[in-house]
Amino acid sequence: MREETAPSPGTAIASSPLDDLLVETVVSTGAHIGAVYLLAEDGEVLLMDAQLGMPVPIAKMWARVRTNDPVPVAVAVRERRMVWLSGLEQMARAFPSAALALPYHFAVAIAPIRTGDAVWGGVVLLWPAGRTPMLSPRHRETLKAAGARMGEVLRRAADEGRPIAPGPQPRVLDPRPARPADPDAQLVALECLNRLPDGFCSLDVDGRVTLLSAPAADLLGSCSGELLGERLWEALPWLDDPVYEDRYRAAVVGRQVTSFTARTPAGRPLTFRLFPGLTGVTVRITPAAAGFDRAPGVPETGADRPTRVIALHEMLHLATTLARAVTAQEVLDLVADHVMPVYNVQALAILTSKDGRLQVAASRGYSRQAIDTFDGHPVITPSPRGHPFDSGRPAFFSTWEELHQAYPTAVRIDDMSALAFLPLVTSGRPIGTCILAYDRPHQFSTDERATLTALAGLIAQAFERARLYDVKHQLAQCLQSSLLPRTLPEVPGLDRAARYVPATPGMDIGGDFYDLIRLSDTMAAAVIGDVQGHDVTAAALMGQVRTAVRAHATAGATPGEVLTHTNRLLMELSPDRFTSCLYVSLDLERHTACLASAGHLPPLLGRPGEPAQVIDASPGLLLGIDPEAEYTTLDLDLPPGSVLTLYTDGLIERPGFDLDAAIADLADHFALCPGLSLPDLAESLIEPATLDQRTDDIAVLLLRDATRDLTPGG
């Protein structure tokens, strides 16, 4: 069993003004577990600030949650809404990975902590499952009000220059008012329990013994002095079994009465029945009925016990979480989120090698100087006095001196004292090494070595997937970027600016494209579009569509004819792919534009001194649907100083938002300020979209009639 250093309930450190609000909310709603999460500075991670009623190992497992994780608190904060789950079945349907990691019966409600449009975090409450399928209106209002009150506390603190930030570990709160213990009352309670033939003991929410009757001590074969303040499964080796700890967690988290039977070293079977409450669990200990036999798979006293450095559910949680990682850094970040709090590890890194030199694929906790030292450093070789080197076996060094003896050429980095080298092996071949570094000497127990070795297998599989994805993604991005124009041509009297923003890292590439074509000294054509799909095929087809448009435009075709000819070509090239496209012909001498649309989003037209206008170009069918489709045109006046904005749907589309409303909102934010350059205007339009987790690329093309600047005094 691993050692926990977190404080016991009632010993919260560096108390926050949020603590009283959390305790008040838990008590008033009848919840048995509560927690407060706060957003980290980067806005991408939720950190548990304080909790009550939750075992410390579980709190550590969920201490750090990414806002894009498929877990209830992340959804509540990300979507700024309350989340309610009535039990394990509903949890499994909506959040399967969370249900796998916490397979207990409880109901949970999460409310975002917010003030106006600002979200600061989330407050989480748990109740026993099965009481009601719906969250009561009173509890809903109480929880909502708690989120608002906490938000005000955080806002005021930030405004006063003393923002509240979560600590390195969740603080543990006591739901009871602080008051001195009454030793006489405890003695009376203990005397009452000593009169009963059965044994009784009281455990706090973290499993530590707070009260032990004499019959219980006799049955357990230990005196109370040896057990008080200790966890039963740590103080008594014959109870060090994941099955027994799991029953305790089920009692605390699910507020269920649970039981298990175990055999003492003397061979005597005992039944433990656990009765949970707000501040802990009361355990009734009785001799087991005659004929008791150990369940299959439960180890006898003295047999090898399952490793417990990382609990079973934590390993399952990590395995399901790693399945989502698509880059090497994501793999390491997810591993670090789970491993660093449990082992008190200060730094992690995944290293690969090429031509006998190290390469850092991902890291967390190491300084920039350390990364630079690793990168390109020759692969170290062991001392001739050491054992033969085997890149497929893990290596553990409790001190720096121990490592240096085996590897005399090793360089000490960031003053780390103990290190674990976990080989990442897939299909029988090493693909890299994961390094865990400690800032002080660390003795690796047998259980810890076994668990870390198993952990390396999970990391290796995820890292190999990420490497393959990286290669494919880089190839696709290279193809896509090579098909987009490197620079836009110069056309007299026309200012232009273009921005292309790839989707959020981890997403596949898209088929967004744009182009500007110079037709003469006073004529130009612009095109923007989006090929269906997010793969290499979409990128390649995008290049063919762009080439076809350019060929027909330079041949003198009208906007409608350009789309008609391109549509027929697309039907031949890829009849199962559709493309939206907007084509604009610009006459800078006459200050006019002619548009034709194939199902593309309407452009915006900003005229000096007027609100931005959404141009309804009567879009025809998407390219690639009907070979006989025809496309109408729309003529526009484009007075000097006007700006025409073309864009793809990645700029405005959001899950759950109406498309027309999103377009209108974009027009409202469009502002032609005197002296504002087109690149700055493009940035002002794109910036709100880049703050969200995007699943699509963004392409924006801005065109301004600048012919006034060409006339004397213009």
Please give the Cα distance from 275 to 564 (Å, whole number). 75
What spatial distance separates the first Cα and last Cα of the chain, rounded to whole Å? 80
Exposed/middle/buried for 583, CB within 10 Å: 0-12, 13-18, 19+?
A: buried
Which CATH class, in words, describes the domain spanning 484-710? alpha beta
- Torsional sign, CA 90, 91, 97, 100: negative
DSSP conformational letter for 341: H
Residue ranges per domain, the chain?
A: 18-172, 183-287, 325-476, 484-710
Integer Cα distance of 237 and 220 in angstroms: 11
Query: What pLDDT, in 10s, does the model give residues 543-567?
Result: 888 889 999 999 999 999 999 999 9
pLDDT value at 32 more than 70: yes
User: 18-172 and 183-287: same fold?
Assistant: yes
Torsional class of 291: left (φ above 0), alpha (ψ -120 to 50), beta (otherwise): left
Question: How much is the pLDDT for 297?
Answer: 36
Cα 90 from Cα 74, distance rounded (Å): 17
| Secondary structure in 3-state letters for 653-669 | CCCCCCHHHHHHHHHHH
Nearest partner of 636 among 646, 649, 626, judged by Cα: 646
User: Each residue of 322-367: pLDDT tens digit?
Assistant: 877 778 888 888 888 888 887 889 999 998 888 778 888 889 999 9
Q: How confident is the model at residue 88 (pLDDT cuts 50, 70, 90)?
A: confident
Q: By C-alpha distance, which of 606, 439, 632, 599 is closest to 529?
A: 599
pTM: 0.52
Q: How large is the average pLDDT for residues 156-177?
A: 85
Sign of the dihedral defined by the CA atoms of residues 178, 183, 184, 185, in that order: positive
Lowest mean pLDDT among 25-34, 98-107, 151-160, 170-179: 170-179
**What is the spatial distance between Cα 516 and Cα 499, in angstroms, rounded to a whole number?**
13
Q: Give residue 185's pLDDT.
A: 66
Q: How confident is the model at residue 2 (pLDDT cuts 50, 70, 90)?
A: very low
Phi, psi of 646 (to 5 degrees): -110, 140
The predicted structure's pLDDT at residue 4: 33
**CATH 3.40.1380.10 fits domain 183-287:** no
Would you say residue 223 has pLDDT above 50?
Answer: yes
Tens digit of each residue's pLDDT (9 = 90 or more) over 208-218 = 999 999 999 99
Residues 21, 22, 24, 28, Cα dihedral to 10°: 130
Among 237-251, 615-629, 685-699, which stretch is predicted with the lowest mean pLDDT? 685-699
18-172 maps to CATH 3.30.450.40: yes
Q: Name the residue with higher pLDDT: 55 or 584.
A: 584
Picking from 608, 692, 689, 681, the residue whose alpha carbon sits closest to that of residue 645 is 681
Return the half-sphere exposure (C-beta side, CA atoms, 13 A cut-off) of residue 162.
6
**DSSP alpha helix (H) spans, 323-425:** 328-343, 368-374, 400-406
Neighbouring C-alpha atoms within 13 Å toward the C-beta of 539: 21
- pLDDT tens per residue, range 191-208: 888 888 899 999 988 889
Phi-psi region of 298 (alpha: psi -120 to 50; beta: other; left: phi over 0): beta
The whole-angstrom separation of Cα 312 and Cα 339 is 13
Phi/psi class of residue 130: alpha, beta or left (left: φ > 0; alpha: ψ in -120 to 50)?
A: left
Contact 600, 637 (CB under 8 A): no
Do 185 and 198 contact (CB within 8 A), yes or no? no
For residues 534-544, give the mean pLDDT.
74
- What pLDDT is recorded for position 414? 92
427-478 residue pLDDT tens: 778 888 999 999 999 998 876 777 787 788 888 888 888 888 777 767 666 7
Tell me the C-alpha to C-alpha distance, in Å, between residue 482 and each of 85, 194, 450, 517.
Answer: 48, 81, 48, 17
Please tell me the predicted confidence (pLDDT) of residue 541: 79
Query: Is the pLDDT reported for residue 513 higher than 70?
Result: yes
Query: Which residue has 């309350």 as its token pair?
Result: 82
Q: Which residue matches tokens 């050692």? A: 3
pLDDT tens, position by position, 379-419: 766 554 544 445 567 889 999 999 988 888 888 889 999 99
Fold designation for 325-476: Beta-Lactamase (3.30.450)
For 209, phi then psi, to 5°, come to -75, 125
DSSP 250-299: HHHHH---EEEEEE-TTS-EEEEEEEEETTEEEEEEEEPPTT--PPTTPP
pLDDT at 388: 44
pLDDT > 90 fraction of the chain, expressed in percent and rounded: 39
For residue 175, which of 317, 368, 33, 341 has the smallest C-alpha distance?
Answer: 33
Task: Provide the token pair at 95.
Answer: 């959040």
Average pLDDT, the chain: 82
Q: Rounded to whole angstroms, what are the CA distances from 543 to 334, 429, 500? A: 37, 39, 15
Q: Is the pLDDT of residue 177 over 80?
A: no
Rounded distance, CA 162 to CA 154, Å? 9
pLDDT, tens digit, for every residue of 644-703?
999 998 888 876 678 888 898 888 888 766 667 898 888 888 887 766 655 678 899 999
Where do we find the tokens 């798979």?
A: 297
CA 8 to each of CA 15, 206, 230, 309: distance values in angstroms, whole numbers, following the listed order: 14, 7, 11, 20
Q: What is the pLDDT of residue 296?
A: 37
